[in-house]
Amino acid sequence: MWSGSDLVRVLLGAILMAVSSSALGNVSKNVVCYQGTWSVYRPGLGKFGVEDIDPFLCTHLIYAFLGIEETGDLRVIDAYLDLEDNSGRGNIKSFNALKLKNPVLKTLVAVGGWNEGSKRFSIVANDPLKRAKFVDDVVRFLQRHGFDGLDLDWEYPDQRHSLENGDRLNYITFLKELKEGLEPFGFTLSAAVGSAQFSAEISYDIPAIVPYLDFINVMAYDLHGPWDKVVGINAPLYAAESDSSDSTGRQQQLNVDAIIKYWLLAGAPPEKLVLGVPFYGRTFTLTTAEGNLPGSPHIGKGIAGKYSREPGVLGYNELCELMQQEEWIKRWEPTQQVPYAFRERQWVGYEDPRSLALKAQYVMDHHLGGIMIWSLESDDFHGTCGQQPYPLLHEINRVLFGDSTPTGLTTESNKDKPNEGFSCPVDAPEGYVRDPDNCSNFYYCSGGTTHSFECPSGLSFDLNTKSCNYSSSVKC
């Protein structure tokens, strides 16, 4: 009988062999997808659970969020949802079981987020014993639940709360010790980071943190919102013409192009930079209905979405449904390369397939590590707006992988896939077996159920390592 930790090691081996193989083509591009797990409580068509995730459209899925205690302990925020204890829903188990559908998928758990604040991170990062406790707790949690790594979402060092000797230096030590604790087990370490120069240079010594992170999720969104005096677009690709009139230079930093160029010039290698894009827009209430161009005055937040129910925010799924029901006027901002829309005094700057295709092409042109999505539940995951499900995510994959997915597999190609005559006996021990007639095919037997997999082209399933390996190295 295979234990959970054995299964994790087997899957990790398959992942590492597959990802290292040139047979997978352009797997160097990551598609990192966050799920805000609270979305399972949304009403109606907005309800988003693990069963709504297409595990073939992302290279990495990130479970958001866990918390951190001042003691250095991990904190499960929603134990009923996340765990199986006390008749819980076991959401984490279901999340990691997606790797049974796509064996080259990686799953990470995110600790932090905006609502978690910064104070507890500051306290833990400043204390060597508490840092050690956190590292130990993380390793145990990843092992116990079958995750492939940790995503650290401290928002933000040296900004919202800081100790006298400074978060910026402690952050480096924190990452170093996390990397040393995770690396022996093959676990991935990533971080979500503040993006614009005037913010990032406060929080990060970029050359010092780069060695400890496998990839860096640059949150290049929330660049404009109701906190500004005038309406602006959430994540413009380039600066607006009016930004040049800002004597401080701050406005010129609030676009994707300026953000990425800053991180590159500051010492981040392009292959580690993952461009974060939003699947939601920021809404405003205009001062007058006639003043509807970007840069027009407003009186505060706009309408809330009927699923997310947060004033000032509309998920793409919420907006596209509104546009089917109401007469919104859509415009394209040619300089910033993003859309916006308005209806009477309501205004929103958002993303659509066209703008995200341009951002994905920017990733290709600048040889970046990939794209990060915040977050899956805001795509039109049901396809209710007349397109296929996940139109935004599909468009990103189209540009990065050429009308395909990261592995070339899809939900449909693996759904109820016939086993060509092979099926696991009811009394078969739990674990992996190789197809007797085709060394590239393998199966996972569990309680008489057969899960079918296929190694990428040029690889065969190695019975010794229980993972995909170069065919020349496998006795077949």
CATH of the domain at 160: 3.20.20.80
Distance CA 190, CA 170 (A): 17
Please indicate, yes or no, if residue 39 is contained in any of the structural domains.
yes
Check residues 39 and 459 and name the one with the higher pLDDT. 39
11 and 108 co-located in one domain? yes
CB 294 within 8 A of CB 304: no
Residue by residue, DSSP assigns 428-461 as PPSEEEE-SS-TTEEEEEETTEEEEEEPPTTEEE
Tell me, yes or no, whether 51 lies in a domain: yes
Query: Is residue 150 located within the same domain as residue 228?
Result: yes
Classify residue 318: in a domain, yes or no.
Answer: no
Range of the domain at 68: 4-279+351-412
Residue 448 has pLDDT above 90, yes or no: no
18 domain-assigned: yes
Domain presence at residue 319: no
Q: Of the ranges 15-24, 162-171, 219-228, which one carries the lowest mean pLDDT score?
A: 15-24
Query: Does residue 176 lie within any of the structural domains?
Result: yes
Whether a cis peptide bond, with omega within 30° of 0, leads into 156 is: yes
Same domain, 362 and 457: no
To the query of whether residue 155 is one of the catalytic residues in this protein, the response is yes
Instruction: Note whether 393 and 458 are same-domain residues.
Output: no
Three-class SS state of 85:
helix
- Given 395, 412, 429, the domain boundary residue is 412
Please indicate, yes or no, whether residues 119 and 213 belong to a single structural domain of this protein. yes
Please check whether residues 114 and 222 belong to one and the same domain. yes
Contact 63, 37 (CB under 8 A): yes
Q: How many CB atoms are located within 10 Å of the residue 70 CB?
A: 13
Residue 309 belongs to some domain of the structure: no
On whether both 163 and 223 belong to a single domain, the answer is: yes
User: Looking at the domain assignment, is residue 290 inside a domain?
Assistant: no
Cα distances (Å, whole numbers) of residue 272 to 28, 168, 282, 366? 10, 20, 28, 12
Query: What's the whole-number mean pLDDT along residues 26-48?
Result: 92
Phi-psi sector, 466: left (phi>0), alpha (psi -120 to 50), beta: left
- The pLDDT confidence band at residue 445, using thresholds 50, 70 and 90, is confident
Following DSSP, what letter does each residue of 356-407 receive, concatenated?
Answer: HHHHHHHHHHTT-SEEEEE-GGGS-TT-TTSS-SSHHHHHHHHHHHTSS-SS
Our count of domains for the chain comes to 2
Query: Which residue among 116, 155, 377, 395 is the active-site one?
Result: 155
Residues 401 and 423 in one domain: no
Instruction: Choose the final residue of a domain: 388, 412, 436.
Output: 412
Rounded to 10 deg, the angle between the 167-182 and 128-145 helix axes is 40
Claim to verify: residue 378 and residue 443 sit in the same structural domain: no
CA gap 135, 55 in Å, rounded: 28
CATH code at 447?
A: 2.170.140.10
Domain boundary among 412, 440, 457: 412
- Co-location of 436 and 359 in the same domain: no
CA distance 307 to 349: 18
Least confident of 20-34, 79-93, 196-210: 20-34
How far is the C-alpha of 362 from the C-alpha of 367, rounded, in Å?
A: 8
Which phi and psi (to 5°) does residue 393 adopt? -65, -40
Q: Are residues 393 and 425 in the same domain?
A: no
23 has pLDDT over 90:
no
Q: Which residues pair with 153 in a beta bridge?
A: 112
Judge if 258 and 189 occupy the same domain.
Answer: yes
pLDDT in tens, 224-278: 999 999 999 999 999 999 998 888 889 999 999 999 999 999 999 999 999 999 9
Question: For the segment 73-119, what is each residue's pLDDT rounded down to a tens digit?
Answer: 999 999 999 999 989 999 999 999 999 999 899 999 999 999 999 99
Most confident segment among 153-162, 289-298, 380-389: 289-298
